[in-house]
Amino acid sequence: MAFGIDSFRGVRAIVDHRLARRHLINEFHRGRLRQDQVCDAHPELIRAASNVGTPASMACPICREARLFLVTYVFGSRLPSHGRCVSTAAELAKLNTRTDPLTAYVVEACTACRWHHLLRVLPIGGGIARTG
């Protein structure tokens, strides 16, 4: 069954970037990309990872030594144009109760080598009921 573009109007879905992440890591380990090409996180992202990031369960795929941190930014109407860095689950839950639709971006970052990658984009707020 095929769906036309009209079938997806107004649909808000989770976008996962794991395949792009895996490809980039593989290209680095094959020697096709230099470390300075993949480890170029903005200083503000590294600061957020250090101060309010959530420790991830895995080591950095580039330097393989330091632990990764997850940082969540939320964008939407009535938020600053640069977004809002969410530091707690309670803060994210509060944003999720808003009636206006928001978009959360989860980024992983290594504070040692400055690797970073967008992991997923997810809709929050806008009357979307989330459980668990």
Averaged pLDDT for residues 100-117: 96
Output the pLDDT for position 91.
94
d(CA 74, CA 86): 7
Output the pLDDT for position 2.
52
Q: Pairing relation of β-strands 101-110 and 54-59?
A: unpaired
Q: Can you tell me which residue has the tokens 């928001």? A: 102
d(CA 100, CA 127): 8
Token pair in block for residue 117 = 């990658």
Averaged pLDDT for residues 13-35: 96
pTM metric for this prediction:
0.85
Residue 26 pLDDT level (bands cut at 50, 70, 90): very high
